[in-house]
Amino acid sequence: MSLHDENPLLAGRLRSEGDMRMMLQWAKDMNCNYVRLAHYPHNEEMIRLADEMGLLVWAEVPVYWTISWTNPATYANAKKQLTDLIIRDKNRASVIVWSIGNETPLSDARLSFMSNLAETARSLDDTRLVAAALEVHREGNNIILNDPLGEKIDLVSFNEYAGWYWGGNPSEITKYNFDIKYKKPVVITEFGGDALGGFHADENTRWSEEYQEALYKNQIILLSKIGALRGMTPWILTDFRSPRRQHPIYQNFWNRKGLISETGKKKKAFFVLKDFYDQMQVKYK
């Protein structure tokens, strides 16, 4: 499950061990065994608690979208953050992935920048997987991953928002297929859609809990087509504040993709994902 370093119940960052334990316990309530601490290094105490509570961790640095790929100072900043993260947490049992970025558009400069970060990660710790949320594109009903950065890292990881930003209603998304170039383990780093906690309608009404519930049910069907699928971190555990989300009724400056609302209420999709994880636990026990 993906997490931000933010308490939905109180404005601001997670302040205390109690705040952090609450977030990780919510993940465990869903029967998660793995969390993505996005999109930046989280508090060191969060990693310590993940050790204690038996949760695996994807740890990430904020190389995100369109940054200045050719600026030496930008690269130095990214390298310093990655170095600090790995030095701080490389002896934590919970950490299994160092992520060097998220949703970075393709270019030669970006490939060079990210490839150098991957080499840095391996030079500091050759015992963990190195990954990033790669770029995908669509051609007809095919979701295609041929991002050249996939050659440089250990996992095929990517975000896809069928049923929300593209692809029609939830019932329509199972028609898609995946065309993945690399023969590596696949981890879906983001999928999902918004739902205002407590708003109920039919499953084709956007922003309703029923829409999000149907979306998760059909995403599980869609993602099961990937034979090499080895993990997923849906977006996101809890609703979080976002100044870009300005819809006055359904958002009101909140990103509503959380499976738990800003009041701590578990939405219907929470239980869809929990049921899936419960089944996986039985299957692979």
pLDDT digits (tens, 9 = 90+) for 59-89: 999 999 999 999 999 999 999 999 999 999 9
CA distance 79 to 63: 10
Q: Is 109 helix (H, G, I), strand (E, B) or coil?
A: helix
CA-closest candidate to residue 28, choices 8, 43, 49: 49
- pTM > 0.85: yes or no: yes
Which pLDDT band, with edges at 50, 70 and 90, does 13 fall under?
confident
Contacts of 118 (CB under 8 A, 6+ apart): 100, 130, 152, 153
Per-residue pLDDT, 53:
98
Token representation of residue 39: 């999109």
71: three-class secondary structure by DSSP? coil
Domains and CATH numbers, the chain: 2-284 (3.20.20.80)
List all residues 6 or more positions away from 196 whose beta carbon is below 8 Å from its beta carbon: 207, 208, 209, 249, 250, 256
Round to whole Å and give the CA distance between 176 and 148. 22
What pLDDT is recorded for position 136?
97
Question: Per-residue pLDDT for 284 more than 80?
Answer: no
Sign of the C-alpha dihedral, residues 17, 18, 20, 26?
positive
In this structure, are residues 158 and 182 in contact, taking their beta carbons and an 8 Å threshold?
A: no
Mean pLDDT, rounded, for 40-62: 98
Q: What is the pLDDT of residues 187-240, one digit of tens each?
A: 999 999 999 999 999 999 999 999 999 999 999 999 999 999 999 999 999 999
